Amino acid sequence: MSPLDLLDIDASLSEEERQIRAVVRQLVDDKVRPHVAGWYEQGRVPARELAREFGKLGLLGMHLTGYGCAGSSAVAYGLACLELEAGDSGVRSLVSVQGSLAMYAIWRFGSEEQKQRWLPAMAAGEAIGCFGLTEPDHGSDPASMTTRARRDGGDWVLHGTKMWITNAPVADVAVVWARTGEGVRGFAVPMDTPGVTAREIGRKMSLRASVTGEISLDDVRLPAAAQLPGATGLKAPLSCLTEARHGIVWGALGAARECLETALGYATSRTQFGKPLAAFQLTQAKLADMAVEWNKGYLLALHLGRLADAGRLRPDQVSVGKLNNVREALAIARQCRTILGANGVSGEYPVMRHANNLESVLTYEGTSEIHQLVVGQRLTGLSAFA
């Protein structure tokens, strides 16, 4: 048992859940940890190779059923996200975008033909998906999207730009959301369709072990069968975001745990003024406060996971989890950096990398301010968005 599990929370997990966690942790130990510092430094990641490895273990769309998906519980999926993000937030993002955004959108809103075409290959990691909602001028306000889809005979023609799209430069299919005469609609867009271009976004200071891009849609002609028939209105993409945010609630704990374990090991082995750093009151106070916040976040994630498995999880509850756990994980990473001193900024330790990554996690899938307003609306019954 980890010394960080002060409250014996692991005892609340089933044997199957612990086994799934162990398998994912071993995969991260074997395929991610030995290389991720280099990927981060180089700003490159072998996304397709990783996707195939994740597909072999059933991690892609693992909480979905059928079409080659594992059909795991929400808690098991959360534990997998925790272990993946303990390796790196960018690696967990690859899995989240693939399974909880692109695959989930097709699984929930797609036609049977679309499901058969895309989901088995995506579950196996042989095809990669991305989720085109955010635009250059419309991030937190997707209702103002300017990407348009118009009917032309029996076809649809799409025009617009999507920005900050994880997996876009390596994707085979994009789930693109566009405004039509009948409201917002979703489309499964093969990335080799004429008029579709993807440009990788470089010079990132965060999530460097993740492929991020811009998608340009220049009068892209699609058959009617490309539209997701079950997706009507903005609630459709927002429901996909709820799926992804649940994984982030867990994932952020993984980054925080890695930082805490690193800081704890460093503090007990590093000697200053004749004794280990961990023997100083200030260091113990820092470690104690961080461990308490980590355990609270773990309890919150587990509670939300059990609600999801019972079919009772609400979007505003996910906002509570995303707001709290990412905010606290970032605070933990920053505090752990102080315990490591100058070594905290070295790539030989994962702490600064996790802190930098969590700056992005704090923003994507809804900024902290957006989630505060979601919670505020739940408390007051009044919307502060308009």
Instruction: Write the single-letter amino acid at 179.
Output: R
Please name the amino acid found at residue 29.
Answer: D
Residue 328 a catalytic site member = no
The Cα 114–Cα 120 span in angstroms is 11
In the block, which residue shows the tokens 């635009």? 135
Q: How far is CA 136 from CA 141, 342, 350, 370, in A?
A: 11, 37, 31, 18
- Joined together, the tokens standing for residue 153 give 């005979």
189 neighbors 216 (Cβ within 8 angstroms):
no
* φ/ψ of residue 170, rounded to 5: -115, 5
Residue that the structure tokens 């966690």 belong to? 21
Q: How far apart are CA 99 and CA 273, in angstroms?
A: 50
Q: Which of 214, 258, 293, 365 is catalytic?
A: 365
Residue owning tokens 């909880």: 100
Show Cβ contacts of residue 99 under 8 Å, excluding neighbours closer than 6 positions: 59, 60, 61, 62, 63, 64, 77
Catalytic residue numbers, as ranges: 365
